[in-house]
């Protein structure tokens, strides 16, 4: 444990990858080089689909409020990067909970591939980059904070997998995401990654200004990504339970750990070993945001992830 940051390994659980069982749903894509270059493809899209996406994205960005000088404003970007509806549902509710908890109403963007979140811009790597660029253009980089929540399948080496049915496919590798955020000047950031093997993002994203929470270690899967679910295990524990209450971040993580530990034992699952880092300077902006956390607790929504179909 270095002076610049704290680290905890948690037993929290989240989403898997493609093609296997709902609990151990992982498929490793061998094209690591393509992932590092930010590979993405769209095929079979009608021109009207592209026009609709342009209109939705433009409207969502135009609705964002400017930052307030002298106030540590949070901008939330929540994105479901797979068309399995569980990810869209989780991203949509995460956007609401994070927006309320961190005083980001009017400063929140929701993206989701496929169904689950309603008529919002597509949750693709390209739209995520556009959303981050829009937020960067409104933020005061020295004062404000990005809260990024991603939920999807994940794979070792390639990172987050984007899949929108048979029409969209791609990756967000750790170096991709780090280069995007750093290139846009977004250094004050809380990044929450709900995906298997999401601990591989640690070396590229963690620094003194960053809070990073991942659903798994670099070498473990996470759980609860059955398409019919309302939540992954990670999303249910952290967003739907712990973050709805006014507990500070460290306490909220402890609550999530307790929940997930019980779910793991109930299912006889191996530990996914989520990771939690808080940079030394990040404590400053985190304290400012948490001073405005509502004191009331909101009710949970959806079916608990442990009751997955």
Q: Which of 78, 79, 112 is nearest to 95 (CA)?
A: 78
CATH code assigned at 126:
3.40.50.1460
Question: Residue 241 carries which DSSP code?
Answer: I
Domain assignment present for residue 27? The answer is no
Domain assignment present for residue 12? The answer is yes
Domain assignment present for residue 158? The answer is yes
Domain assignment present for residue 304? The answer is no
Burial of 84 per CB tally in 10 Å (0-12, 13-18, 19+): buried
The whole-number pLDDT of residue 5 equals 32
Q: What is the pTM of this model?
A: 0.89
The answer to whether 280 and 226 are in contact (CB under 8 A) is no
Strand partners of residue 189: 146, 210
The torsion defined by the Cα of 118, 119, 125 and 127, in degrees rounded to 10, comes to -150
What is the extent of the structural domain holding 219? 5-21+32-295
The whole-number pLDDT of residue 185 equals 98
Domain assignment present for residue 13? The answer is yes
The whole-number pLDDT of residue 36 equals 74
Domain assignment present for residue 162? The answer is yes
Domain assignment present for residue 178? The answer is yes
Q: Which of 180, 179, 168, 177 is nearest to 195 (CA)?
A: 177
Q: How far is CA 19 from the centre of its chain?
A: 22
3-state SS class at 109: strand
- Averages of pLDDT over runs of 10 residues in the chain (309 residues) are 34 32 44 75 92 96 97 98 95 98 98 86 96 98 98 92 93 95 98 97 97 95 90 96 96 90 90 94 97 96 85
Number of domains in the chain: 1
Q: How far is Cα 154 from Cα 264, in angstroms, rounded to an integer? A: 19
b/e sequence 108-140, b meaning 16+ C-beta within 10 Å:
bbbbbbbebbeebbbbbbbbbbbbbebbbeebe
Domain assignment present for residue 270? The answer is yes
């Amino acid at each position: 444990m270095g002076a610049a940051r704290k680290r905890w390994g948690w037993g929290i659980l989240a989403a898997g990858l493609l093609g296997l069982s709902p609990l151990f749903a992982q498929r490793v894509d061998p094209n690591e080089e393509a992932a590092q270059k930010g590979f993405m493809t769209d095929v079979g899209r009608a021109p009207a689909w592209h026009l609709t996406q342009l209109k939705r994205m433009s409207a969502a960005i135009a609705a964002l409020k400017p930052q307030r000088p002298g106030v540590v404003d949070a901008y939330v970007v929540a994105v479901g990067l797979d068309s399995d509806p569980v990810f869209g549902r989780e991203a949509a509710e995460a956007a609401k909970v994070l927006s309320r908890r961190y005083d980001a109403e009017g400063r929140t963007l929701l993206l989701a591939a496929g169904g689950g979140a309603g008529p919002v811009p597509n949750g693709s790597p390209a739209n995520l980059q556009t959303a981050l660029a829009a937020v960067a253009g409104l933020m005061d980089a020295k004062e404000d904070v990005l809260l990024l929540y991603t939920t999807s399948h994940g794979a070792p080496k390639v990172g987050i997998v984007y899949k929108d049915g048979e029409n969209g496919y791609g990756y967000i590798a750790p170096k991709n995401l780090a280069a995007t955020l750093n290139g846009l000047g977004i250094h004050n950031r809380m990044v929450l990654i709900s995906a298997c093997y999401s601990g591989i993002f640690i070396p590229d994203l963690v620094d003194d200004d960053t809070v990073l929470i991942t659903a798994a270690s670099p070498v473990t899967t996470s759980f609860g990504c059955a398409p019919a679910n309302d939540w992954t295990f990670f999303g249910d524990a952290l967003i739907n339970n712990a973050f709805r209450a006014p507990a500070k971040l460290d306490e909220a993580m402890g609550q999530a750990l307790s929940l997930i530990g019980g779910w793991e034992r109930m299912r006889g699952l191996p530990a996914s070993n989520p990771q939690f880092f808080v940079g030394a300077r990040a404590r400053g902006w985190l304290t400012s945001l948490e001073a405005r956390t509502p004191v009331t607790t909101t009710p949970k929504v959806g079916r608990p992830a442990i009751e997955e179909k």
